[in-house]
Structure 1
Amino acid sequence: MNAIRGTASGSAPVPLSVLDLATVGSGHTATEALRTSVDIAKLAESRGFYRYWVAEHHSMPGVASSSPAVILAHLAAHTERIRLGSGGVMLPNHAPLVIAEQFGTLEAFAPGRIDLGLGRAPGTDGGTAAALRRSDRLREGADDFPQQLAELTRFLDDDFPDGHPYSRIHAVPGPVQGPKGRPSVWLLGSSGFSARLAGSLGLPFAFAHHFSAQNTIPALDLYRESFRPSADLDAPYAVIGVSALATEDKKEARRQVLTGALSMLRLRTGNPGLIPTPEEAEAYEFNAMERDFVDSWLANVIHGTPDEVRTGLDDLTKRTGADELMITANAHGGGARLRSYELIADAYGLPVGAGGRG
């Protein structure tokens, strides 16, 4: 339970964490993006951010995070204390036993530091989902998610009842090898389905405010209303993912976040690519509909000077009652993302060399 609830550092009202998409900018490579992920994880640990999660996305040229378990294993080798996890693994894309084995392996690498955040979306388009799941699993939808989750949990706990077809199957590494212990299981969502399910199961919940801001408060209300205490958690615990970028200069912040907005516009219109440069984004001629989309998108990206970002994050915490903020910094270059986390840490007075509190 203590591994779920984070501890705030410095003058932050709630714990601060990092969500990494391992974004790949135009002119850069996936190798560079993943090296930046290591740098950010090290910085996050040294400055007292509580956790570091990576997301699962497929067939998107602008991200390098298709394999969270692989990335997390690498990050575990380069960190010592910060909690590491998936934000998330898309459960319908994988057999529950495979996830249990992967995250059991991570737990063996970094005992007591692993979070398994689970989502029910494919993390990609329909065609790619078909390639991931094969034809016999493509029909699986929201109705199957609770059953998949229950099966995964049984594998993690190694407690299928006698007579169950899987009662003699063990996810290894896992409890069958001792000592008992498993990753902390979370549900992720951008609507009410996972909010209600997380509440009814007594699990911690992470909401994707960064791309579904209009649903944040209704989903969190539903989670809290549905919550039932469990062996994992005695009271609701809600994290929200928020897009935020800090720079020393306000105009530069706007210039940087416009790259992410243009990238999202291209993704939503079926033309995904590498994250454009600030110069490319500034030169792009938006039509009226595109401008409306970009303005709407940027309205939910907290950006500006460190003090402005801090004010925006604090206001969001007050409005939502979030127990923890998970910050994602989307920009073209890794340097801008790394610097943003450093500036946010400075704005909250997070102590240098604090280390994560796994």
Structure 2
Amino acid sequence: MQFDAPSGTAPFSLSVLASGSTGVGVSAADGLASTISLARTADRHGFRRFWMSEHHAMPATSVASPQLMVARLIAETSRIHLGAGGVMLPNHAPLIIAEQFGMLEAMAPQRIDLGLGRAPGTDGETAAALRRGADANDGFHRQVLELLGFLNDDFPAGHRYHDVHAVPGPWQSGQNRVTTQSAGPEIWILGSSPYSAQLAAHLGRPYAFALQFGDADVDTALRIYRENFQPSDVLAEPHTLVSVPAAIADDPAEARRQASTMSMAMLRMFKREGYQLLPPDEVAAYPATMQERQILDSYTDRNFHGTAATVADRLELLHARTGVDEVMLVVGGHSSALDERGIELIADHYDMAQA
């Protein structure tokens, strides 16, 4: 597995994470259309990856299946890596995911990423409707190994799935006497805890840390990953990515307003009111209690919001502290137009290549 040099003058590669943001007053069709437009812009401006996250039963998100959107975006882009950030593996049968991403890799060789997470991507009741058992998270390591077995078609003799083959994949190529240049989708382990860091290190896979979920300890997780990394047949050295919430605009006040809509959605989720993206004016008028105001301010301040120069300064401080190889901007405020303009601004700041 080879990783390209960082784009432009940034000391790290820059990527984008989206979730099909569908704010109040926006239809699902328009939210998905905006995601397609965002991917085109990211591709045109030289971003490394465009990932989408799996969520269920949330008013503000329309991407329940990142793989379905990847299939559409293959035809809409030309060079950017497309993928899931991520597929919540306990929600799925590993064989199905292996076949789906095998199809995507066959359509766009060496451009498909598969990030694997173990969270449900939703609330407890919806997780139960997805047929998750009470111990689903406990089997994540086994599920990842099973998925890799299907993708590589390398279950050992005597394994119960030794004669089960994911198609497309290596077995089909062998049966049809053809060779392929693809080694399969690029597998990432996602997380925000020492558990995920240990697993990524043990498997010798690249590690993506989600810094958008509160006060997770990124420094400890990356240290654990690097100290325990075991080289694999796909990765010789540790490789890290950190995702951060971002809202970028020419006007820093407008960027903060966009960030506040994401913060309100988080507060609503904590209150079990549903992850909903309210217009900025409604957020500003909300009569928050002192505790709610602390939560809103905390999440808004944690967001990398402001002008491109301000956000770049914060990104570079993060890089100096963590030594991260890649940074992924998590966009998804109420205004999809502002999100798209924001990634253009940061790309221009770093003089990233345009196609």
From 242, 246, 249, the counterpart of 2:248: 246
Question: Contact 1:92 / 1:140 at 8 angstroms: preserved in 2?
Answer: no
Question: Contact 2:55 / 2:121 at 8 angstroms: preserved in 1?
Answer: yes
1:296-307 matches, within 5 Å, as 296-307=298-309
Identity %: 47
Question: Contact 1:6 / 1:324 at 8 angstroms: preserved in 2?
Answer: no
Given the two structures, how large is their TM-score scaled by the length of structure 2?
Answer: 0.95
**The residue matched to 2:246 in structure 1 has which SS?**
strand
Question: Is 1:294 aligned to residue 296 of structure 2?
Answer: yes
**The residue matched to 1:25 in structure 2 has which SS?**
coil
Question: Is 1:153 aligned to residue 153 of structure 2?
Answer: no
- 1:273 positional shift: 4.6
Distance 2:225 2:297 in 1: 29
Distance 2:238 2:215 in 1: 20
| RMSD over equivalenced CA pairs, Å | 1.2
Residues 212/192 of structure 1: CA separation in 2 closer, same or farther (3 Å cut): farther
- 1:317 positional shift: 1.1
- 1:122 positional shift: 0.8
Question: Is 1:144 aligned to residue 157 of structure 2?
Answer: no
Question: Contact 2:53 / 2:85 at 8 angstroms: preserved in 1?
Answer: yes
Aligned match of 1:222: 224
1:199-278 matches, within 5 Å, as 199-278=201-280
Distance 2:137 2:217 in 1: 18
Aligned match of 2:176: none
1:90-169 matches, within 5 Å, as 90-133=88-131, 137-169=132-164
Aligned match of 1:35: 33
From 175, 186, 189, the counterpart of 2:170: 175
From 322, 338, 341, the counterpart of 2:340: 338
Deviations 1:159-217 (A, max 9, x none): 12222221111111111222353111110001110111101111100000111443111
Distance 1:310 1:258 in 2: 20
Deviations 1:311-353 (A, max 9, x none): 1111111111111001112210210110010111111111322
1:346-357 matches, within 5 Å, as 346-353=348-355
Distance 1:209 1:117 in 2: 15
Q: Which runs of 5+ in 1 are unaligned?
A: 354-358
Residues 170/214 of structure 1: CA separation in 2 closer, same or farther (3 Å cut): closer
Aligned match of 2:63: 65
Paired residue type of 2:308? P
**The residue matched to 1:78 in structure 2 has which SS?**
coil
Distance 1:264 1:33 in 2: 19
Question: Contact 2:45 / 2:347 at 8 angstroms: preserved in 1?
Answer: yes
**The residue matched to 1:171 in structure 2 has which SS?**
coil
Given the two structures, how large is their TM-score scaled by the length of structure 1?
Answer: 0.95
Distance 1:35 1:329 in 2: 15
- 1:152 positional shift: 0.6
Question: Contact 1:118 / 1:185 at 8 angstroms: preserved in 2?
Answer: yes
Deviations 1:260-303 (A, max 9, x none): 11111101110015311111111111110001111211221011
Paired residue type of 1:41? A
**The residue matched to 1:153 in structure 2 has which SS?**
helix
Aligned match of 1:75: 73
**The residue matched to 1:71 in structure 2 has which SS?**
helix
Question: Is 1:55 aligned to residue 53 of structure 2?
Answer: yes
Moved over 3 A (4+): none
**The residue matched to 2:216 in structure 1 has which SS?**
helix
Question: Contact 1:198 / 1:204 at 8 angstroms: preserved in 2?
Answer: yes
Aligned match of 1:356: none
Question: Contact 1:7 / 1:50 at 8 angstroms: preserved in 2?
Answer: no
Residues 204/321 of structure 1: CA separation in 2 closer, same or farther (3 Å cut): same
**The residue matched to 1:116 in structure 2 has which SS?**
strand
Aligned match of 1:22: 20
Deviations 1:110-145 (A, max 9, x none): 111111100011111111111102xxx412344311
Distance 2:268 2:4 in 1: 36
Question: Contact 1:238 / 1:323 at 8 angstroms: preserved in 2?
Answer: yes
Distance 1:193 1:142 in 2: 11
Distance 1:212 1:252 in 2: 22
Paired residue type of 2:168? P
**The residue matched to 2:86 in structure 1 has which SS?**
strand
Aligned match of 2:83: 85
Q: Which runs of 5+ in 2 are unaligned?
A: 174-178
